[in-house]
A and B are shown apart, each in its own frame.
Chain A
Amino acid sequence: TQLLEQSPQFLSIQEGENLTVYCNSSSVFSSLQWYRQEPGEGPVLLVTVVTGGEVKKLKRLTFQFGDARKDSSLHITAAQPGDTGLYLCAGERTGGFKTIFGAGTRLFVKA
């Protein structure tokens, strides 16, 4: 059972396009993190969101945490080939410290 569902699983777009990927759950999380993983490497943290409704921006990336702290989205504006990678969301459950990972969205940006 995947507690964190990510969609879409795969996304192939042209350079310059915008995209949004989603991370959904029926569980409440005390925080949610987004990681990016490139081939042959471990995941690297992009952002942590903690407050329901929180929006964080990291250059062309915008992250939002749902009001009920059950879901999150990542929006990329004007995607570039360097954005290619596997995007993972990870939630820390309320009252615990173990982090649950989603299966990821694999993004490919074509030049």
Chain B
Amino acid sequence: NAGVTQTPKFRVLKTGQSMTLLCAQDMNHEYMYWYRQDPGMGLRLIHYSVGEGTTAKGEVPDGYNVSRLKKQNFLLGLESAAPSQTSVYFCASSYAAPNQPQHFGDGTRLSIL
């Protein structure tokens, strides 16, 4: 039972490069989320999706884009990476109902040089 799987686990980029972080869930969850976690700041929501084909901005969306072409996958893109985007990125998913817990992947550690 995989749950939420994130790839890659680690990546180092140079400033200006682009990349896509992949998230896949096998729990048939409607909602999916992308967060970044920085020391002392907790988890901050970047973008989220309430269903296949839909996306919406979270708290810190600038510099990121997302797509949800299939229900089980949620992709996070960095078009032109900046050092300020160095962080640990977490994907999560949940059922489409109030007060439902989020299930998290193990994160992607991204460093931008």
Contact = CB atoms under 8 A, between A and B. Distances in A.
Do A and B come together as binding partners?
A: yes
Interface of A: 2, 4, 9, 30-31, 33, 40-45, 48, 50, 88, 90, 92, 97-99, 101-104
Contacts of B43: 43, 88, 90, 101
Interface in B82-113: 90, 92, 98-99, 101-107
A42 B98 contact: no
Given A30-B98, A30-B99, A33-B101, A42 B92 contact: yes
Interface string B40-73: 1111110010000000001000000000000000
Given A41-B107, A43-B104, A97-B31, A103 B41 contact: yes
Chain A, interface SS category: loop
Given A30-B98, A31-B99, A98 B58 contact: yes
The 7 A-B pairs with the shortest beta carbon distances in the complex, nearest first, are A42-B104, A103-B42, A31-B99, A45-B101, A101-B43, A101-B42, A43-B104
A42 B41 contact: no
Interface residues of B, number: 22
Contacts of B76: none
A11 to B, nearest CB: 15
A42 B42 contact: no
Nearest to B97: A97
Contacts of A99: 45, 102
Contacts of A88: 42-43
B32 interface: no
Given A31-B98, A33-B101, A50-B99, A104 B106 contact: no
B99 A41 contact: no
Given A42-B105, A92-B98, 10 more contacts: A9-B40, A30-B98, A42-B4, A45-B102, A45-B103, A48-B101, A101-B35, A103-B41, A103-B42, A104-B42
Contacts of B102: 43, 45, 90, 99
